[in-house]
C-alpha cells in the first residue's frame, strides 16, 4: 500500500502522537484535578479529528473506501467537553447536565458506527 507523504502529513502524524500521549497522560494521572479528565477527553477527540485529516491527505481514504464512513470526525462532543473543562476548572461542582449530553453523543457515535458498518 502506497501512502502519499509530505511535510503536512508528517506534521499531522506528530500531532496524532502528541495528542494521544497527552490525552492519555491527563486521564491516568494519579494526582489529577477534575478538569484534567475533561481536557484529556477533549484532546483525544481533537486527535481523532486530526486522524481524519491524516487519512484524507495521505490517500488512505482513496485506497480504502470503507474507511471513509468511519466516524473519526466526531465534533459534536467538543462543545460539551469544553464546557465541562471550564466548569470543572472554575467550580467545585461536577457538571451533571453535560454528562448526559456526552453520554448522548457517545450513543449516537456507536449507533452510527454499527449501523454503517459493512460486512
Instruction: Dump the DSSP string for 42-105.
Output: HHHHHHHHHHHHHHHHTTHHHH-GGGGGS----GGGHHHHHHHHHHHHH-SS--HHHHHHHHHH
pLDDT tens, position by position, 57-75: 888 777 777 777 666 666 6
pLDDT tens, position by position, 81-91: 888 888 887 77
**Residue 55, pLDDT above cutoff 70:** yes
- Which range, of 33-37, 43-47, 57-61, 67-71, averages the lowest pLDDT? 67-71
Q: What residue numbers bound the domain in which 80 lies?
A: 7-115
What's the pLDDT score for residue 45?
86
Query: How many domains does the chain fold into?
Result: 1
Residue 2 belongs to a domain: no
Residue 1 belongs to a domain: no
The grid cell for 47 is 486527535
pLDDT tens, position by position, 96-111: 655 556 666 666 666 5
Amino acid at each position: 500500500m502506497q501512502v502519499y507523504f509530505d511535510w503536512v502529513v508528517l506534521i499531522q502524524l506528530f500531532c496524532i502522537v502528541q495528542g494521544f500521549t497527552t490525552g492519555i497522560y491527563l486521564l491516568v494521572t494519579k494526582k489529577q484535578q477534575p478538569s484534567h479528565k475533561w481536557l484529556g477527553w477533549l484532546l483525544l477527540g481533537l486527535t481523532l479529528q486530526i486522524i481524519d485529516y491524516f487519512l484524507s491527505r495521505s490517500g488512505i481514504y482513496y485506497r480504502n473506501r470503507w474507511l471513509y464512513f468511519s466516524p473519526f470526525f466526531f465534533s459534536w462532543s467538543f462543545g460539551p467537553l469544553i464546557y465541562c473543562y471550564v466548569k470543572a476548572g472554575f467550580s467545585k461542582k461536577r457538571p451533571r447536565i453535560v454528562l448526559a449530553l456526552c453520554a448522548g453523543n457517545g450513543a449516537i457515535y456507536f449507533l452510527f458506527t454499527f449501523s454503517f458498518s459493512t460486512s
